[in-house]
Amino acid sequence: MSPIHISIVGVGKIVRDQHLPAIARNADYKLIAAASRHGVVDGIDNFKSIEAMLEAVPAIDAVSLCMPPQFRYAAARTALEAGKHVFLEKPPGATLSEVADLEALAASKGLSLFASWHSRYAPAVEAAKTFLASTKINDVKVIWKEDVRHWHPNQDWIWAAGGLGVFDPGINALSIVTHILPNPLFITSATLEFPENRDAPIAASIVFSDARNLPVSAEFDWRQTGHQSWDIVAETDAGLMVLSEGGAKLSIDGKLVHDEPEQEYPALYARFAEIIKAKTSDVDLSPLRHVADAFMLGRRKFVDAFFD
């Protein structure tokens, strides 16, 4: 089978750090074009807009969309209307409704749409899911705290309406939790902390449950300095499970049982190629649904102004 001719839209840090190396190492793909208002990729044709790119390079089979979520719907619809398969960086869109519309459009055209959740592909996530399926879970705590100044310097879009704020990293935790727990969760209460000068939250405290009344809580915070915390801790009948470092390591009762090198984005692109070949889509909206529920149900608390 000939390689999938893929293009990238939105050439920023995540593309250079993750997408380009993952595509380069996968024989299923050949990168042939990119579109970005500011960035370029050496060695291929570059354009300022997705429209110009699609018009000039009809050989494109698939488009990977890596711009901020507020702008992703229009680009995704343009690509699907042009007959291209679409990879959506997380979160897949600014709203649930627009992603549902894209899913319907892709299905009507026989195209593949992939709502990618890279943290689900962290090396210890499947091992954690298997462990939790084998025992009774009594309590789950999610601690996702990092320094926004380090990870998102001068990125104003994340603070704008639709940029998600602290849910930009927090949705990574939600993507793991919704994958490893045996039953669907729902939010029972939430508090969202908004800086006085921002339209998106800098911190969130959330309480969840499921149909069996499992207590689950999450703490997201973008003001963490020093050690960064990306942990999911579960009290179970088989011991204390700690899924740490964003899903990279798994410990049971203090014993490290799973620790492998990170391969999240290579796994994402392998999955995208798989669904293209199978002529299907993979669009799980449960992590984004929880974010929407938190905004719907959450109590707003205003805190001091924040300057990046």
From the centroid of its chain, how far is CA 305? 27
E strand intervals along the chain? 4-9, 29-35, 45-47, 62-65, 85-88, 113-115, 137-145, 185-195, 203-210, 216-221, 229-236, 239-244, 249-252, 255-259, 299-303
Please state, in angstroms and rounded to a whole number, the distance separating the CA atoms of residues 122 and 128. Answer: 11
Name every residue whose Cβ is closer than 8 Å to that of residue 72 and which is 6 or more positions away in sequence. Answer: 65, 88, 89, 92, 93, 94
Please state, in angstroms and rounded to a whole number, the distance separating the CA atoms of residues 129 and 33. Answer: 38
DSSP state string for 17-79: IIIHHHHHT-TTEEEEEEE-SS---TTSEEESSHHHHHHH-TT--EEEE-S-GGGHHHHHHHH
DSSP state string for 131-154: HHHTS-EEEEEEEEE-BHHHHSTT
- Tokens 């899913």 belong to residue: 103
Biggest CA–CA distance in the chain, Å, is 59
For residue 287 the two structure tokens come to 């992590």
Indicate if 90 belongs to the active site: yes
Alpha-carbon torsion (33, 34, 35, 37), positive or negative: negative
Catalytic option among 84, 90, 145, 249 = 90
Which residues are designated catalytic?
90
